[in-house]
Each structure stands twice: as C-alpha cells, then as structure tokens.
Amino acid sequence: MAQIKHIAIATQDAEKTAQFYKEVFGLREVAKLDGENAKGFFLSDGNINLAILDFQNDQVAGAEHGVGYSGIHHIGFEVESLEEIAEKMKAADAQPRDDINEALHMGTPAHGAGNVEVKYGGPEGVIIDVSETGWIGTRGFD
C-alpha cells in the first residue's frame, strides 16, 4: 500500500514559514535547499517530509501555480512500484506532469536517488509525487 510521506508548501518566505513549523510543532530541519529551482527547507517529524519551498521558476512550480503561489502545493506517496502506479494513474486518467518532470529531469535513470521520481496531475488540480525511494526524514532521524 502506498504511504503519504511528503507534503510541500509553496511560500514567498521560506525562512519564516519553516521557523513556524519548527517552533510550533517541533519539526526538525533535515535539509536546506538553495537551488536554481527552489530555495527552502525539508523538515521532518521522523515519518513525513514537509518541504517548505520558495519556487524560483514557473516551470517547476507548475503553470497553474507559478512562483507567486503560496499554499499547499503537492503531496507525495511512497510506492512499491513506479510501473504499477503508472498503470493505475493512467487508468484513473491522471496524466504525468511532463512539463514539471522535464523541468526537473524527473524519471531519468540519473534521477531517483531519493525524493520524488515522477509527478502526476491528480483530481482537483493537485500535483502528486510518487517515489520508490522515499524522502529525506521519512525513516526516522538515524
């Protein structure tokens, strides 16, 4: 069974947003992002990865959101088989987000060392990440 392991919040102030979740809920910072696609933080409770993301370009943020969007951006599921999920997503008419996948070089053999491996469009415009390898901070802190 797939497990929710990742939730991403888009923000214009990653530092302030991350500080809120760390101070109020005691989440730990497990990584800091400073890349061309996003700046921000990965926080964790040891089971779920909460990404606080300040997107740096519209392609990665997705055309429906863009870099100015703030709010819940996407959710991620750890799955046993990307091929099986691809078949189920196709049957459910949930298409790969080729625009975002290409911008992030997702689904390529060089990718997949952790975190999302493929993004799909889900119901109500929700972006869905799927991964066989999981996210940092989703298997405890050791």
The verdict on residue 109 lying in a domain is: yes
Specify if 64 maps to a domain: yes
Range(s) of the domain holding residue 58? 3-131
* pLDDT tens, residue by residue, 68-113: 999 999 999 999 999 999 999 999 999 999 999 898 887 654 444 4
52 within domain boundaries: yes
**CATH number of the domain enclosing 61:** 3.10.180.10
Other CB atoms within 10 A of residue 135 CB: 25
Residue 107 within a domain: yes
Cβ proximity of 73 and 97 under 8 Å: no
As for how many domains the chain has, the answer is 1
For 54-75, how does the pLDDT look when each residue is reduced to its tens digit (9 = 90+)? 999 999 999 899 999 999 999 9
Q: Name residue, tokens 């991350």.
A: 18
pTM, 2 dp: 0.84
Q: What is the mean pLDDT of residues 28-47?
A: 96
Q: What percent of the chain has pLDDT over 90?
A: 77
Tell me, yes or no, whether 117 lies in a domain: yes
Mean pLDDT of 48-58: 96
